[in-house]
Amino acid sequence: MKKITVHSTAGVGNLVCGFDVIGMAINEPYDKITIQLSDLPGIRIKHTDEFGLPEDPEKNLIGICLQALINAGDEQTGFDVTVHKNIRPGSGLGSSSASCAGAVVAANALLNNRFSKNELLEFALEGEIVASGGRHADNIAPAIFGGITIARPTDPFDIISLPVPTNLYVTVVHPQIEVKTADARKILPKEIPMKSGINQWANVAGLVTGIFKNDKALIGRSLVDEVAAPFRSKLIPGYNDVMNKSLQAGALGGGISGSGPSMFMLSESLAIADSVEKCMQEVYKKLQIDFKTYVTTINPQGVKIIESE
Amino acid sequence: MKKITVHSTAGVGNLVCGFDVIGMAINEPYDKITIQLSDLPGIRIKHTDEFGLPEDPEKNLIGICLQALINAGDEQTGFDVTVHKNIRPGSGLGSSSASCAGAVVAANALLNNRFSKNELLEFALEGEIVASGGRHADNIAPAIFGGITIARPTDPFDIISLPVPTNLYVTVVHPQIEVKTADARKILPKEIPMKSGINQWANVAGLVTGIFKNDKALIGRSLVDEVAAPFRSKLIPGYNDVMNKSLQAGALGGGISGSGPSMFMLSESLAIADSVEKCMQEVYKKLQIDFKTYVTTINPQGVKIIESE
């Protein structure tokens, strides 16, 4: 195999109470990344999208991750990369993780899967750290391992896959405003009340149990974030309206995706997920803010190879 | 049925990372409570143990809980109660919960189970609040529901039962020193670093997953408490030695039971659980502190009716 193309999907990081720890891969939107193995050592990157990302491999996240992979293996390896991103950087939908995870999974396939998923995670984190300024794997892990994952922040990370509940639909709205990850981090307090912490891990325990038992009501009522949402929601116009109207429309629960501005809601039927989408659209039409919405599902496998030759 | 006797078991509250939320019922030690339905309204309590607890029903935890149950039902109900406690108050082994849960479960059986488990929990909490000064159900819930429980601190509490892993042994040591629950609470900070919080709910997510997957290694490495143990361990002589030696003997992990001074360790075989007991004994013999140890298992049912007539 000399050339491979992957779909690298978006994800919901910071799964509400699972702040910085639990993330989930979703099927829409996704980036398309093609990598060709080359006799010429080094990395060459071309973007065919319109986001104006740097193509210099030392400044491009994909370049940084692939270099980490090359450094750990054969320094004579060469890659030609063509990227078409659909996940807008700064959307809160794991755009940087999609780039990083997609690139290392594709490159590894070209190298006969010489690296384990845990090793790929560490390569991809090199890019994610540059992108977000923090070492957290709640977006990278589901992109590489698929589905819903826990990333215990040990060194190396301890990644634990959770089962994917059946009949769970994800509605996402991306209001087209900019929230810088750095700003969304700065707004958070460095300390939290013990009481909020206790509520948070009680909700995490409920969420994980709901996922294992496929208990949608428990999943829904556990989706409460007391430590980040109260602060970050202030950066997202329409937050309260989206939450309230979506819940009225029958959504189980939801919150901010990653560090925002995107939001997501979970529903137990496609019909409800569609109603939730309409609520989201109404909120941002009224606010005269451009937006994109997606009605999608959890992606059980993460990065997916769609072509190879 | 006019008279009933129950075994009301000890429990491990504050299941390490699950501080204030996750608790577990164990089979040893246990209290024995006999309740007789009486034509004479009111509550009469007699203790046959040596702990010197008040027998005035307005000052006795059992009296307080049974009064709450009577107030919610028929005010003409009368109970004669005989209690033999084996779980020493202030041990950290859920002594007050055993009294409260045992009494309400026994009384409810005499009343043809007119109250739900959730209602019994609220009656039992009336006593627990007097005992500990806080509204938390991490000991009461497993005593009433059995096994391992999550108590989400909503109003009313949201109690979620977890599966009981197979082949899991519990070794407990109770050094005979006094740690007042109030002191163990006062020593805790009111705020915690965000980073500690993130680690804590990552560990809770790992622990719950380990319990569902019956993954002993995951359970073990998730048993880390960053918010209470660093402070409370200072009140327990021998804490570090018990932890280190037990882990060396093959224990999966463990920590402080409740607010201490008891400690517990989990092991995946009886042989290891026995070795852990020896380690604990050595530590306290060397420190010349009296102690009791128990090698036991998780109690899947909580309060158990052993006689009725």
Overall fold of domain A169-297: Alpha-Beta Plaits (3.30.70)
- State which amino acid sits at residue B212: F
B83: which 2 tokens? 């209690």
Single-letter residue type at B110: L
ipTM at complex level: 0.95
Give yes or no for residue A116 having a pLDDT over 80: yes
Q: A18 to chain B: which residues are within 8 Å by CB? A: 201, 205
User: Is the domain B3-162+299-308 a CATH 1.10.1060.10 member?
Assistant: no
Most A-contacting residue of B148, B198, B224 (CB-CB within 10 A), to test interface: B198
Place A245 in a pLDDT band, splitting at 50, 70 and 90.
Answer: very high
Chain A interface, best mutation among B135, B136, B152, by max A CB count within 10 A: B152
Q: What is the tens place of the pLDDT at every residue in B2-44?
A: 999 999 999 999 999 999 999 999 999 999 999 999 999 999 9
Given a contact cutoff of 8 angstroms between Cβ atoms, the answer to whether B26 and B10 are in contact is yes
Instruction: Look at residue A98 and tell me whether its pLDDT is greater than 90.
Output: yes
Shortest CA distance from B212: residue in chain A:
A212
Mean pLDDT of chain A: 96
Who among A21, A160, A191 is closest to B194 (CB)?
A191
Q: Is the pLDDT of residue B126 over 80?
A: yes
Chain A positions touching B151 (Cβ under 8 A) are 202
Catalytic residue at B128?
Answer: yes
Q: Do A194 and B194 touch (CB under 8 A)?
A: no
A147 Cβ partners below 8 Å, 6+ apart? A24, A25, A161, A162, A163, A164, A298, A299, A300, A301, A302
Give me the long-range contacts of A251-254 (CB less than 8 A, separation at least 24): A251/A171, A251/A220, A251/A276, A252/A216, A252/A217, A252/A219, A252/A220, A252/A223, A253/A16, A253/A219, A253/A220, A253/A221, A253/A222, A253/A223, A253/A224, A254/A16, A254/A171, A254/A223
Say which of A152, A194, A203 has its CB closest to residue B202.
A152
When pLDDT is cut at 50, 70 and 90, the band that residue A22 belongs to is: very high
- Minimum CA–CA partner of A207 in chain B: B205
Among A34, A181, A293, A296, the one annotated catalytic = A181
Q: Which residues of A touch B223 (CB under 8 A)?
A: none
Query: Nearest-CA distance from B235 to chain A in Å?
Result: 20
How many Cβ pairs within 8 Å bridge chains A and B? 118
Give the model's pLDDT for residue B135. 82
- Pick from B153, B191, B222: CB nearest A202: B153
In B, which residues are within 8 Å of A17 by CB distance? 201
3-state secondary structure of A237: coil
State the pLDDT at residue A240: 98
Q: Class of the A3-161+299-308 domain?
A: alpha beta
pLDDT on residue B133: 77
Least CB-CB distance to A227: which of B194, B203, B208? B194
Find the Cα–Cα–Cα–Cα dihedral A232, A234, A239, A241, rounded to 10°: 150
Catalytic status, residue B119: no
Nearest C-alpha in B relative to A18: B201
Residues of A with CB under 8 A from a CB of B: 17-22, 150-153, 158, 160, 162, 188-194, 196-206, 208-209, 212, 218, 221-222, 227
Q: What is the mean pLDDT of residues B281-288?
A: 98
Min Cα distance B17 → chain A (Å) is 9
What tokens does A274 get?
A: 């569609």
> Rounded to an integer, what distance in angstroms lies between the CA atom of residue A93 and that of residue A258?
6
**Chain B nearest C-alpha distance from A48 (Å):** 38
Q: Which of B128, B226, B268, B277 is catalytic?
A: B128
Look over chain B and give the mean of its residue pLDDT values, rounded to a whole number: 96
Q: Amino acid letter at B209?
A: T
Cα(A178)–Cα(A198) distance, rounded to whole angstroms?
32
User: Which of A19, A200, A208 is opposite residue B209, by nearest beta carbon?
Assistant: A208
Answer whether A152 sits within 8 Å of B203, measured CB to CB. yes
% residues pLDDT > 90 (chain B): 92
**CA angle in degrees (0–180, nearest 5) for B168-B257-B278:** 60
Tens digit of each residue's pLDDT (9 = 90 or more) over B237-269: 999 999 999 999 999 999 999 999 999 999 999
d(CA B66, CA A144): 55
Handedness of CA A110, A116, A118, A119 (dihedral sign): negative
In a mutational test of the B interface, the residue from A201, A219, A231 whose CB has the highest number of chain B CBs within 10 Å is A201
Sorted by where each begins, the domain ranges of chain B are 3-162+299-308, 169-297
pLDDT of residue B154: 93
CA A266, CA A273: separation in Å to the nearest integer?
7
**Predicted TM-score (pTM) above 0.80:** yes
